[in-house]
Amino acid sequence: MAELLFGTGGTPHSSRTPSTVDGIKRIAELGLGCMEIEFVQGVRMGEAAARLVAETAAREGVKLSAHGPYFVNLNAREPEKIIASQGRILQTARIASMCGAESIVFHAAYYLGDPPEKTYNTVKKNLAEVMNQLKRENNRVWVRPEVMGKPSAFGTVDEVLNLCTELERVGICLDFAHWHARSGGFNSYPEFISILQQIKQRLGDEGLDNMHIHFSGIAYGKKGEIKHLNLKESDLQYVALLRALKDLHAKGLVICESPNLEEDALLLQETYKNL
Ligand SMILES: [Zn+2]
């Protein structure tokens, strides 16, 4: 990736229609650089539609990623739920690849009372099976477990980075809002720098050259994330974050998940450019 691109999680509110194709066109009109296609309620896109999405994105110069369905738990108790979860990740990766997306993100698992190490090993084993299948299919999409905002959800920065070092083509979806909500910290320039340096240390220069970031304001309490907020209604130190990303030359996609979507994506892009 040549630079840091900014865009929205899902079709911008100001798109002509909620379709992915109109969303991509609107991203380009707004001067933004990327968009995440939301398959959070299920993958409901056929091959022909995906080809049209790929053509549109290439023509408009918009980079794409895709968010997999919420109904995934790679630490589920029931074998059939594991198989269904793996199937949803595979389905997202297949359609994302047809759309020309370079990454998919998903919420990997819940601990369900298991110790973190046991959960980690189960998630790793089940995700490895997904990655082996994608390799057999020659699907080169990056598969990115998301850093999660609630302590009940698998997905600390360390857990996701460990998966990245152990499994080929697995990357991190670094959700700074989630990590702030979950940890109560990580909301200052030195802390943002420390996470980015951790990524560089664990994943090498490639880690910072190929980032996938989720960002928004966030409301949180004792149990972590409550809901997403617009940046200016939240305590997120977004200028400090952008400064840290710029100072360490981070490249990749920044997907804005604030309720106002494109408004905050543009705010981030403008602020970043003027630093
Ligand atoms: Zn997510």
185 Rama class: left (phi>0) / alpha (psi -120 to 50) / beta: beta
> Residue 1 pLDDT > 90, yes or no?
no
Percent of the chain residues topping a pLDDT of 90: 98
The pLDDT > 70 percentage for the chain reads 100
How far, in Å, from the CA of 173 to the mean position of ligand 1? 9
The Cα 32–Cα 8 span in angstroms is 9
d(CA 55, CA 49): 10
Rounded CA-CA distance 74/29 in Å is 39
Provide the residues around ligand 1 (an ion) whose CB is within 5 A: 146
Say if residues 180 and 220 touch (Cβ distance below 8 Å): yes
CA of 165 to the centre of ligand 1 (A): 21
For ligand 1, the distance from its centroid to the CA atom of residue 127, given in whole angstroms, is 17
Dist. CA 39 → ligand 1 center (Å):
10
Burial 236-274 (b: 16+ CB within 10 A, else e): bbbebbbbbbeebebebbbbbbbebbbbbbbbbbebbee
Structure tokens at 181: 């909500």
Give the span between the Cα atoms of 258 and 175, in whole angstroms.
12
**Ligand 1 centre and the CA of 78: distance in Å?**
23
Q: Has this prediction a pTM greater than 0.85?
A: yes
pLDDT bin (cut points 50, 70, 90) of residue 2 is confident
Check residue 204 and give its pLDDT. Answer: 96
pLDDT per position as a tens digit, 82-111: 999 999 999 999 999 999 999 999 999 999
Residue 165: count of CB within 10 angstroms of its CB = 11
Q: How far, in Å, is the centroid of ligand 1 from the Cα of 106?
A: 6
The pairing of strands 142-145 and 174-175 is unpaired
Do residues 208 and 246 touch, judged by C-beta distance below 8 A? no
Distance 217 CA to ligand 1 centre (A): 14
Section 132-152 average pLDDT: 97
The 10 Å Cβ neighbour count of residue 173 is: 29
Res. 61 pLDDT band, cuts 50 70 90: very high
Task: Kindly give the distance from the C-alpha atom of residue 12 to the centroid of ligand 1, in angstroms, as a whole number.
Answer: 17
194: pLDDT strictly greater than 70? yes
Q: Are 66 and 37 in contact (CB under 8 A)?
A: yes
